[in-house]
Each structure stands twice: as C-alpha cells, then as structure tokens.
Amino acid sequence: MTQDLHLLDELQDKLGYRYKNPELLVRALTHSSYANERHMEHNERLEFLGDAVLELCISNVLFFRFPRAAEGHLTRLRAALVSEPPLARLARSLTLGDYIFLGRGEEQQGGRDRDAVLADTLEAILGSIYLDSGYDGAFECISALFEELIPERVEVLPASKDFKSRLQEKTQGLFRARPVYSLLDSYGPEHEKIYRVQVELPDGTGIEARAGSVKKAEQKAASRALKPLEGREQD
C-alpha cells in the first residue's frame, strides 16, 4: 500500500466527503502495526472519538426518523447499526481494506480483511471527519453512508440479546462453563481513557478488545469471540 495522493482522492470520493486537512485521513488509515514500525501516530485515538460520534449521529437519525418508536426499539436498532459486523460490511462496500496502512505482520495475517480492523478504521475515519468539519460534517457523511442500512420500520429487528449474553449461552452449551473477562490495561487522559480487556473462553482462548469504557470493550471482545464459535454446536 503506497501513500499515493490519488488513492486518498479515490477514497474521499467513495466517502462522499472532501477533507480540508487530508492529513487527518492519513492518520485515520494508519493502523498501530504500521505506526509502530515507523514511530508515527496511529488511529486508535481517532477510533475512540469516531465511536462516540457515530453513536450520537445514529441516535439523532433514528430519533427523528421514528418519532413514535419506543426507547427500547431505538436502542436495539442503534446497537445493531453501530456494531462491528455492519461496520465491517460497510467498510468492505467502500473497499476500505485497500487503503489501510498496515505493518508487515498484520498484513501477513490477513488484517486487511479482518472485521475488527475494518470496523475500527471506519470509526477512525468518522472521528477524523468530525475533527475536520465538526458535528455537521460528520452527521451529513454518516447519514449518507448508513442510509441503506436503516430499515423502514424500527420494529423489524428482533429483540436480540447483547453479545456478552449470547457468548455466555454459547460457551455454556459448548463447554458447560462461562467466559471470564479481565481488564488488561487502560491508558490516556481521564476524559478520553481507552480500556483494553480480554475475554477468556473455557478452552483457554483469549480475545482482546479496546474501547472507551470497560463495558463497551467487553461487548466488543464478546462479539469477536462469538465468531469462531458459530456453527460448532452443529458440528
């Protein structure tokens, strides 16, 4: 992946947004593996910001799109829209993996098509757009990108359990034991601290995730842990 200006122009066309400061886009595309090899700034802080901006913008869209919807329905729909799987699908529709700056190890491990890398990078981009043009610019971009993902009726989504509840049911069915969550680290200033947690499955597998709160990090880790367990009950 070369830092070619025409590729950045190409991605901005796909996003439907033109940066006043393109360096923000470069930072949003810079994975920590690439930054560590070159001793430069990576996109994790932008990811933290983008996560919050995305949730606020989607909340705004849903609040006015569905004026009679109950709070519970709005909460479930928002959670479904901002979770890792739809973010990764949206990133793939933008061919975002082609533009991410990855380190050699992450590249060799298929990071360019990993859901977590794609979703986190998309959140970082949304955070960078917020910095570039404020809430109005971010809201306009997010509204357009997510338009096709929003159903016509808020009730079409089932009242699904959260990822931690689903993972607990899955591990109890497979292993007759529960997963264990632990806080590994936290860093950054108090007003924008990042938490790194791990969920350990009963078979000893450990999956990590980062987010702006312990609860969100645990949900993200549970979401990632569910994937390799899919279908095992039918094996």
* pLDDT for the residue numbered 1: 41
Q: Is the pLDDT of residue 144 over 70?
A: yes
Domains of the chain: 5-156 (1.10.1520.10), 163-234 (3.30.160.20)
Burial of 65 (0-12, 13-18, 19+ CB in 10 A): middle
Average confidence (pLDDT) over 204-220: 88
Average confidence (pLDDT) over 40-54: 94
pTM of the model: 0.71
- DSSP 8-state code for residue 206: E
CA of residue 216 relative to chain centroid, distance: 11
Q: Is the pLDDT of residue 61 over 60?
A: yes
Q: Which of 106, 123, 132, 218 is catalytic?
A: 123
Residue with tokens 């996003």: 15
Q: Is the pLDDT of residue 29 over 90?
A: yes
Q: Which of 47, 51, 84, 218 is catalytic?
A: 51
Q: Of 218, 94, 233, whose CA–CA distance to 162 is shortest?
A: 218
Q: Is the pLDDT of residue 207 over 50?
A: yes
* pLDDT for the residue numbered 111: 84
Active site annotation includes 51: yes
Task: For residue 159, give the amino acid letter.
Answer: A
Active site annotation includes 185: no
- In this predicted model, which residue has the larger pLDDT, 199 or 115? 199
Share of the chain above pLDDT 90, in %: 54
* pLDDT for the residue numbered 34: 92
